[in-house]
Every structure is written in structure tokens, then in C-alpha cells.
Amino acid sequence: MATEYPAFKAAAAHVAPVFLDAEKTVAKACSLIAEAARQGAALIAFPETYIPAFPLWSAVVAPIHNHEWFKRLAASSIRCPGPELERIADAARRAGIVVSLGFNEGTADSVGCLWNSNVLIGEDGAILNHHRKLVPTFWEKLTWANGDGAGLRVCDTRLGRLGVLICGENTNPLARFTLMAQGEQVHVSTYPPVWPTRDPRGGGNYDLAAAIRIRAGAHAFEAKAFNIVASGFMDAAMREELATLGPEAARVLDESPRAVSMVIGPTGEPVSERLSDREGLLYAAIDTRACVEPKQFHDVVGYYNRFDVFDLTVDRTRRRPVSFRGSEPAPAPGEEDLAGGLMS
């Protein structure tokens, strides 16, 4: 069978959620899915934990002041599967578009356990992959549990072979190689709107836009793949609510570097405009034929590797807090394993 090289239009959603409101953020996501489809996009990628927010409060005030914010986030987190994702899947189905969606995931196993998760939804509304971020980064550990390897999968679609990693995972060489080694042609990277690490007045703050550009370019260049970068945006409503944390917290958020959204081609160079200081949908043309020629130079999952020297094993077990022997209880509602089918 001859190899096919799909070409399509992609959209990166450089957008803000309706802060800590899952229902309204789902409605906004559905509207953006329809808009992207009207503009001819076959895929739309949303930012990290788009539903219902990224926990920026953990960066700018001490943990002893964060309890109410965590409780609000937990109350607005969603399940996989669940009614909110059903609405997103129905919007994808109606629009005939592939959707990559970041969200805060809750579980029936614990009222306080959250994951930083992403689902890839097919144009037919089926969930193709469900990934939980492997390791929360720095102050993110105050919010999310460790994920597992169950979602380290590349999905074969009519748009090509699609993979997703969340924020700092795009700096993890083994996670990235796991996707490369599954023939990834189109990669989605998701990020928050801002990521403070220091008081900006002291200097040396983390330059999020520069870090994104380095990571995204490196993966695109090494994988010889397109990289769709979808970062969050802090709108006025989000900034106003976070400002209630105090004037110093507001100042740090105002002065910290913003994220950037873009699409990078398989040579490591951008093939789209950049969005940073305004909200919107960013579009780019993707032709997977462009992934072929660079493989002649360096194919790190083909001839440019030494499989007699290097050996990588990935555990894809979906981790659960308890296992039962004997009379196995039925799964809690919304907690079916991916292999059993999350959504039809």
C-alpha cells in the first residue's frame, strides 16, 4: 500500500477560559471548535488545563493562602468520560474536526485528586487518546498528581499520526522519543498563559516564550514533525480575579513573560504567525510530505539510531489506587478504563 501524506489546516487556540467555570468554558470551547471548522481547519488544539483554569495562584502566594482556590478548582474539574467531554465530542462530531483539549481531571476515587490531562478527540467524536501529565512541574505539585504512561500514544488519523505532550513534558527526552518512535508526524504542545518563577524585579525570571520556542523547535527538528503550540491567554477577567490575591501577586503576574502560540515545521522553523499578547485562533497549513526529506539527514527512530546500544521500555499501565481480587466491583461511573472504551 502506498504511503499517504495528508495536508490540512490546523488551528491553535490562544485563548482564555471562563475562569474557574467549567460549564461556560465548555460552551466557549464548543463555539471555538465551530469557528475553526468554518475557517476550514481540520484540527484545533486548546491550551494546557483549558477547562476550567491553570492554577496560577500557586505561583504567586504561599500554599497556606491557596486552599479556597484549590477547592474551587476541584469543584470545577471534569471527569473522563463525563458530560462535559460529551459536549466537546458532540461539537467535534458536528464540525467534523479533530480536537486536542487540555483539562483538569477529577476522579470518583478521591474528591481531592486532580490530574493535568489532555484528550484527543476524533472528528467522529470518539476519544482517541487520554493522557495525564507525567510529572507536575515546580509549584504545580501543589495541585496535580503524577500521571502515568497510558496516554503516551500516537494516534493514526486521516490527518496523519498525531501525538500530544503537556508543557514541561516537551523537555522530557524519553517521553518525546516515545512519540517519535510511533511515527509521529504532527505534535501538539500545550502551555499555560504565564509561568512565574521569580519576582520579575529581581531579574532572572523564566522566559516562557523563549522556553516554548526552544522546546517546540527542538522536538519538531528531532522528530521531523510539525509542532502545534497552543498556549493559554490571561484575559482581563482572569487577571482581575487573580488580583484579589493581593497587589504583589497582581504585579508579579503583570510583569512576568507571557506564553506564545505558533506552529513549527519539521525543519524547526515557524510556519505560522505568533500569538502572545492578544486572544485568538492561529491558523497554519500543514503538509506532512514536508516530514520526509529531513528524515534523509537524521532519522533518530530509523537508521540514525543504534538499537543495539539503546533500549527504551515504556509502561503503559493505567494506575489505580487499589485492585481487587475475587468479586470485582463494577467501575465507578465515569471511571472505565481506556481499553474498555471511553466514549463511542
Is residue 293 among the annotated active site residues?
no
Residue 281 neighbours by CB distance under 10 Å? 18
Is residue 71 among the annotated active site residues?
no
Angle at 172 between CA 171 and CA 174, to 5 degrees: 145
Q: What is the pTM of this model?
A: 0.94
Q: Which of 30, 48, 184, 224 is catalytic?
A: 48
| CB 156 within 8 Å of CB 177 | no
Is residue 133 among the annotated active site residues?
yes
Domains of the chain, first to last? 7-310 (3.60.110.10)
C-alpha–C-alpha distance, residues 154 and 157, integer Å: 9
Q: Which of 28, 84, 133, 184 is catalytic?
A: 133
pLDDT in tens, the chain (344 residues): 778 899 999 999 999 999 999 999 999 999 999 999 999 999 999 999 999 999 999 999 999 999 999 999 999 999 999 999 999 999 999 999 999 999 999 999 999 999 999 999 999 999 999 999 999 999 999 999 999 999 999 999 999 999 999 999 999 999 999 999 999 999 999 999 999 999 999 888 889 999 999 999 999 999 999 999 999 999 999 999 999 999 999 999 999 999 999 999 999 999 999 999 999 999 999 999 999 999 999 999 999 999 999 999 999 999 899 988 997 666 665 554 443 334 33
C-alpha–C-alpha distance, residues 28 and 271, integer Å: 27
Q: Which of 123, 167, 169, 224 is catalytic?
A: 167
